[in-house]
Amino acid sequence: MLIAFIVLVALIGPFLAPYAPNDQSAMIEFASRGGPTWAHPFGTDRNGYDVLTRVIYGAPTALAVGLGAMLVASLTGILIGGVAGYLGGIADEILMRLTDLFLVIPVFVMILAVVRLFGIVVVGTWLERVPFLNLATIVLLLGFFGWPPIARLSRAEFLRLKGLDFVEAARCIGAQPSDILLRHILPNAMPSLAVVIALGIGGAILAESMISFLGFGDPKAVSWGQLLFFNYQVLKVAPWAVLAPGTAIFITVLGFNLLADGLSDAFNPRLKQ
């Protein structure tokens, strides 16, 4: 339910926001760092932006990050894990060692390093003009390093499912392996995978917030982590500027975790029955 709310905000927010996010009119009015007023329900932040607007605009960013990262992670993870589980043998060994390798890499540090490096490399090239490049990079990297847990689970599920009678029955009917994988095994693996993916979305959002908060984020993108980054220094004077995005992150991540819980509960009793 919480997710529905967040999604709703993300979708219709941009139409409801009282101001354009980059509108610095408040600054002109010397009203920056002002407390919550009727004109600015969440107050204004250090740069004169309306906090509410920016928080609202942060929502689609957060979702993009979460879903985008998990999309990359899922596709990679399911592919690698699934193939490993279904084929077994040498393929399995190789793919699992690859997974282990990726698990060992310190993801966070890597991402910071790559983003910084990328930022330096890109200056002066045509890439600089690609909108939201930095954010996209972060999303891709989060996905790129986030697939191992999904691969592990996929492998376990595919391994378990391929031995079940109904899969043998499909083979007996004459179905081809690609058929079996896509139509029999994958749909039955989805319940468990969905849970892990939901958790992953929350995790990705959190990770992006942390990256932005440390200053490695995309300055042109409106994200809650960015808001924290910008307004951290005025914490004492304008706490609302930090409180609002912080709460937003909390609610969103909590929402996805609850979703994962809910999914996990929903799939279990039916299977038991």
Residue 169 contacts other proteins per CB under 8 A: yes
- Nearest approach, Cβ of residue 192 and other proteins (Å): 13
For helices 186-213 and 133-162, the axis angle rounded to 10 degrees is: 150
Binding segment (CB under 8 A) for other proteins, from list 22-30, 103-111, 120-128, 158-166: 158-166
Phi, psi torsion values for 44, nearest 5 degrees: -115, 160
Residue 89 contacts other proteins per CB under 8 A: no
CA distance 254 to 201: 11
**Residues contacting residue 187 through CB under 8 Å, at least 6 positions apart:** none
Residue with tokens 């492998």: 155
Residue 271 contacts other proteins per CB under 8 A: yes
Among 8, 11, 166, 219, binds other proteins (CB under 8 A): 166
Contact 139, 69 (CB under 8 A): yes
Pick 109 or 173: Cβ nearer other proteins: 173
Residue 90 contacts other proteins per CB under 8 A: no
Binding to other proteins by CB under 8 A, coded x per residue (else -) over 44-63, reads: --------------------
Residue 194 contacts other proteins per CB under 8 A: no
Contact 105, 111 (CB under 8 A): no
Binding to other proteins by CB under 8 A, coded x per residue (else -) over 173-192, reads: xxx---x----x--xx----
Question: Among residues 213, 219, 160, which one has the least CA distance to residue 184?
Answer: 160
Query: Which whole-number Å values give the CA distances from 51 to 45, 135, 211, in the listed order?
Result: 6, 21, 20
Q: For residue 99, is it left (φ>0), alpha (ψ between -120 and 50) or beta? A: alpha
Q: Could you tell me the two tokens for 1?
A: 């339910």
Pick 106 or 187: Cβ nearer other proteins: 187
Residue 159 contacts other proteins per CB under 8 A: no
Residue 172 contacts other proteins per CB under 8 A: yes
Pick 141 or 181: Cβ nearer other proteins: 181
Residue 273 contacts other proteins per CB under 8 A: yes
Instruction: Map the footprint of other proteins across residues 227-266, applying CB under 8 A.
Output: none
Pick 125 or 273: Cβ nearer other proteins: 273
Binding to other proteins by CB under 8 A, coded x per residue (else -) over 113-152, reads: ----------------------------------------
Question: Among residues 100, 98, 138, which one has the least CA distance to residue 119?
Answer: 138
- Nearest approach, Cβ of residue 157 and other proteins (Å): 13
Helices (H), the chain: 2-16, 25-28, 51-87, 89-104, 107-122, 133-162, 165-173, 177-179, 186-213, 224-231, 240-272
Pick 129 or 270: Cβ nearer other proteins: 270
Which residues lie near other proteins (CB under 8 A)?
164-166, 168-175, 179, 184, 187-188, 270-271, 273
